[in-house]
Structure 1
Amino acid sequence: MALHQRQPYETVDKQRATDDGLDQEDDALAGDFKEQVHFDDGMDELDRTNSYGGSGAGPQDIQAQLTAAATPLEYQATLETKFASYDNYCSLFHYILNSEGPVDLEVPTYYWAWDVIDEFIYQFESFCRYRNRIARSYTPSASNDETSEASLLRENPNTWGCYSVLNVLYSLIQRSQINEQLLAMKRNEDPNAVAGDYGTRPLYRMLGYFSIIGLLRVHCLLGDFALALKTLDDIELNKKAMFARVMAAHFTTYYYVGFSYMMLRRYADAIRMFSHILVYVSRTKNFQKQGPGSQYDSVSKKNDQMYALIAICVAFSPTKLDDTIHTALREKYGEQLIRLQRGGPESLPLFEELFRSACPKFISPTPPDFDNPALNVDPVDHHTAIFMAEVRNTMFSPTIKSYLKLYTTMDLKKLAGFLETEPEKLRSWLLVNKQRSRQVRWSEGALLEGEVVNGSELDYALQGDLIHTSEAKVGRRLVDWYLRNLARTY
């Protein structure tokens, strides 16, 4: 299911995706990927599959469980099959985590660990959404099949429960001591010194590592975006990271980091994350298709979602994009992008449409209430409402900025008259917008850290009833226009 070639991608830099230095680095990284597609020797320590021991300890069907854990469940799988799959995962993880000492297992594939964590979380996500959908549509007069499913779900509230899934991920991380190992590597120390008996085994180390990426995804699905970013404190976003060696893990990490930044109103950081992975994908797509077990087809389906999210972020925080991203964005959302940047009430349906098409499939942390279907809110609707509240607070920003750019000083009442609103209401909006224009921008270290910068191209200050702006581009253009026409006259 997964690529075994390294796919490095450097993100820890202080320049935007448009800088020449980053372009050169992307070219070098893409070249590195191309070389590995054809010349990978498969001898990286983390890629070896013959180092798990050959004792074969454990149940006789453990190898079958290993393979099944990384195999996608059929889309039309029955409810009984989903329950059985959950039981199989519980059995497998119980065996791995609670055996007397580390187990010796030979995993089926190079990146079995990522496939297992990815499929485990996907089945959890799809089951939660299915259960919520059944609960919201359930009525006592429903058909026998629907009543039977609702009864089965009601009687088993802990199946694919949020606590169970988080417990597995945190247990794998703790058992493998992977955070301690990553921290030791940051200090240029030997990770094996803090790995313990379990962490030195590639099986536990790889499962623990990808469980960190899994936690990023789960916390984002649950709507805790700050905690989602917090889980990556010990992982460095650079070409040496293990997730960069699996295309699906690489893409997943940047998608959820970028989306978390967007929901925290850190639009510059979100644009950076989305741009990095999309530029990388665009420059290596021909070579990804050549790799064995290529996942490019599945990753390419997510590209439109990433471009939709970039379009939203650019509308909130205008910035210069990489030429590759800018060209693709114009091709996909040309007229729509203009409407987003123009703002106003007519942009609201477009914001909502793009957000719904590009956001993760959010889930609820608790089982639904089958007795009161009206109380079961769709998590996607909930987070869409939160996002749209932010859009409504900023939808007049482009209009107000267009007026402020005309003058270096403007009377508050005069601007309120242009906008047909009350001066005090406008004052409140200007103060709120001023505060929101100050964003935290990440450069290095933990993802939640960064320096506070002004995220708007236009800065202003209020002094009584006067609004002072930092620039008046239109005013200078009027002077230039007057001088040009004066020259033509003579």
Structure 2
Amino acid sequence: MSAFQNGMAPVRAMEDDSDVEEEALVADYREQVQYEGGMDDVDQALLAQQTDDIQAKLAQAAQPLDFQATLETKFQSYDNYCGLFHFILNSESGPVDLEPPSYYWAWDVIDEFIYQFNTFSSYRARIARQGNNEEEAQILRENPNTWGCYSVLNVLYSLIQKSQITEQLAAMRRNEDPMLVAGPYGSKNLYRMLGYFSIIGLLRVHCLLGDFSLALKTLDDIELNKKAMFARVMAAHFTTYYYVGFSYMMMRRYADAIRMFSHILVYVSRTKNFQKNTQYDSISKKNDQMLALIAICVAFQPTRLDDTIHTALREKYGDQLLKLQRGGPESLPVYEELFKLACPKFISPVPPDFDRPEANVDPIDHHLSIFMEEVKTNMWSPTVKSYLRLYTTMDLMTLAGFLDVKPEELRSWLLVNKQRTKQLRWTDNGLLEGDWVNISDLDYAMQGDLIHISEAKMGRKLVDWYLRNLSRTYA
């Protein structure tokens, strides 16, 4: 049973790798697979056969919409969700007296709700950009609020507020009984579970909209450890760390991004024997995406990786990683390829302009352009460092000649890179917080046109270890 369920206050410590917690997590994953398998036939049928219509709606809400569903079906699904959440949140008789089958089910409802919002938004934007399907464009033009950003965010925030989930989580951190602050709605499992997973849903939605700071801010009340409820649901566990890690990457906090991606990839490798076929396919795809993101982050910030991840990274993206490590213009297409492969399917917060297809920018291309500006700023980093390691003092003009760049451009790059050797690293409290640490093994200072190079103040032993293992990281 998770810490959220039994009322115990979890401790914020992502590195909690005890064998007891590991076994509990694996046991929950095994139970989840058994639950999901049963819901396909027995339990699902029983829920749908209830005389109360809300039972059928609840059962239907957790079921994925067919990928090839028609536009009419997508509209109908939106109406069904609106009716369902309106009943749950605004029932005249007070809290709905219904016990959900499992917290796995609660995650499925929120996950499918956001997935349909994401796919509908992407579909609508594609129709607007192509401008070759006037019939569907007219329907979408006349219904701008269907699967609207405001409606989805309103549902998630309302579930959080109604369930008093943030107050309950705060009470648990103080070792207090969360039921004392739960209220009439939050004391019901239905509201408590939906409210909890709505927080994870907000992380996902804000990341899809490109607000990475707000995405991380939404998790202020969630504990990132194995005792958290999201860690008991494999898809929720994976989703949480994927979006946290991606948000960190886009905020240039590469050490924290690598930490998040590494954590969940190790878990996946340890629990793959309990994943059923359909789930394994989905997890395997996300696994490859995270490996691509780790390759990007490690190229920006060379880091010692877990042996399991290191081996998988070499097998999957060995050639690309070598190109990233060399830097220079040849690395740009690789960065672009890996980013497009691994990034979320970004969406726009507003409906597209159907009357001017050329005015609709693909949100993925927009975020890619922002990311590539960062890449271009850093693409000479490996080459520059390779020269600086050979000297204790070097003339700026000489180094510019080696690189075939203008001296003033090189000076700007050195100043920017110097500033970025200090980086926030998360340790405790909110995910946006952290301690400033030095992330480079090389330090330098500029005096006129002279560059004075020295080892960064990381400790002689740490520098030696880093240099010994650098070749292994990129081999």
Per the normalisation by structure 1, the TM-score is 0.84
Q: How many angstroms does 1:437 deviate by?
A: 2.3
One-letter identity of the residue aligned with 1:33 = L
Contact between 1:111 and 1:246, CA under 8 Å: does it hold in 2?
Answer: yes
1:347 aligns with 331
How many residue pairs get aligned? The number is: 434
Task: Give 1:26 deviation, angstroms.
Answer: 6.2
Return closer, same or farther for 1:251/1:422 CA change in 2, 3 Å cut-off: same
CA distance in 2 between counterparts of 1:340 and 1:424 reads 25
1:95 aligns with 2:87: yes
* Aligned pair partner of 1:435 in 408, 419, 437: 419
Deviation of residue 37 (structure 1)?
6.2
The aligned counterpart of 1:303 is: 287
Task: Identify if the C-alpha distance between structure 1 residues 354 and 11 changes in structure 2 by more than 3 Å, giving closer, same or farther.
Answer: farther
Cα distance between partner residues in 2 of 1:458 and 1:28 = 40
Q: 1:226 aligns with which of 197, 203, 213?
A: 213
Quote the Cα distance in structure 1 between the aligned partners of 2:77 and 2:96.
22
Q: Quote the residue 1:131 is aligned against.
A: 124
In structure 1, C-alpha distance between the alignment counterparts of 2:406 and 2:31, rounded to whole Å: 68
* C-alpha distance after superposition, 1:220-252 (max 9, x if no partner): 000000000000000010111110110000000
The equivalent residue for 1:237 is 224
Q: Distance in 1 between matches of 2:355 and 2:29?
A: 55
Question: Aligned-pair distance for 1:392?
Answer: 0.5
Give the Cα separation in 2 of the matches to 1:405 and 1:123.
51
Superimposed CA distance per residue, residues 314-371 of structure 1 (whole angstroms, 9 cap, x where no aligned partner): 0000010011111111111112111111110001001000000000000000000011
| Whole-angstrom distance in 2 between the partners of 1:429 and 1:37 | 48
Unaligned runs of at least 5 residues, structure 1? 1-5, 16-21, 43-57, 478-490
The answer to whether structure 1 residue 406 and structure 2 residue 406 are counterparts is: no
Q: Provide the C-alpha distance between the structure 2 equivalents of 1:14 and 1:427, rounded to a whole number of angstroms.
A: 39
1:264/1:176 CA distance change after superposition, 3 Å: same
Equivalent pair of 1:220/1:228 in contact (CA under 8 Å): yes
Q: Please report how far the alpha carbon of residue 190 of structure 1 lies from its aligned counterpart in structure 2 after TM superposition.
A: 1.1
The one of 364, 367, 374 aligned to 2:358: 374
Distance 2:423 2:406 in 1: 28
Instruction: Specify which of 22, 40, 57 is matched with residue 65 of structure 1.
Output: 57
Q: 2:349 aligns with which of 358, 365, 384?
A: 365
Report the Cα offset of residue 95 of structure 1.
0.5
Partner residue, 1:283: 270
Distance change >3 Å, CA 82–CA 104, structure 1 → 2: same
Does residue 80 of structure 1 match 2:72?
Answer: yes
Distance change >3 Å, CA 228–CA 34, structure 1 → 2: closer
Tell me how far apart the structure 2 counterparts of residues 381 and 458 of structure 1 sit (CA, whole Å).
Answer: 34
Task: Give the one of 91, 106, 109 matched to 1:113.
Answer: 106
Distance verdict in 2 for CA 1:170–1:13, change over 3 Å: closer
Q: Matched residue of 2:442: which SS?
A: coil
Shift in alpha-carbon separation, 1:36–1:172, aligned structure 2, 3 A: closer
- Secondary structure in structure 1 of the residue aligned to 2:423: strand
Task: Give structure 2 stretches of 5+ with no counterpart.
Answer: 1-5, 35-49, 465-475
- By how many angstroms is 1:288 displaced? 3.8
Q: Structure with the greater relative contact order (CA < 8 A, sep ≥ 6): 1 or 2?
A: 1
Code of the residue aligned with 2:402 in structure 1: it is F
2:139 matched to 1:155?
A: no
**Is the Cα–Cα contact under 8 Å of residues 184 and 190 in structure 1 kept in the other structure?**
yes
Q: Distance in 1 between matches of 2:13 and 2:187?
A: 31
Question: CA RMSD of the aligned region, Å?
Answer: 2.5
166, 175, 178: which one aligns with 2:165: 178
Q: Does the 8 A contact of 2:242 with 2:261 survive in 1? A: yes
Question: 1:202 pairs with 189, 192, 198, which one?
Answer: 189
When normalised by structure 2's length, the TM-score is 0.87
**Displacement, 1:32?**
3.3
Higher radius of gyration, 1 or 2:
1
Identity of aligned residues (%): 74
Query: Per the alignment, in what secondary structure is the counterpart of residue 56 of structure 2?
Result: helix
Q: Give the equivalent residue in structure 2 for 1:421.
A: 405
State the alpha-carbon separation in 2 of the partners of residues 340 and 453 from structure 1. Answer: 24
8 Å Cα contact 1:458-1:470 kept in structure 2: yes
Instruction: Note if contact 2:25-2:231 (Cα within 8 Å) is conserved in structure 1.
Output: no
Change (3 A) 1:92 1:36: closer
Contact 1:268/1:317 (CA < 8 Å) preserved in 2?
yes
Note closer, same or farther for the CA distance 1:37–1:370 as it changes in structure 2 (3 Å cut): closer
Cα 1:38–1:427 shift into 2, 3 Å: closer
- Cα distance change, pair 226–11 in 1 and its aligned pair in 2 (3 A): farther
Report the alpha carbon displacement of residue 110 of structure 1 after superposing the two structures with TM: 4.5
**1:456 Cα deviation from its structure 2 partner:** 1.9
Shift of the 27–304 alpha-carbon distance from structure 1 to 2, 3 Å rule, reads farther
- Is the contact between residue 247 and residue 295 of structure 1 (CA under 8 Å) also seen in structure 2? no
Matched-pair contact (CA < 8 Å) for 1:315–1:340 = yes
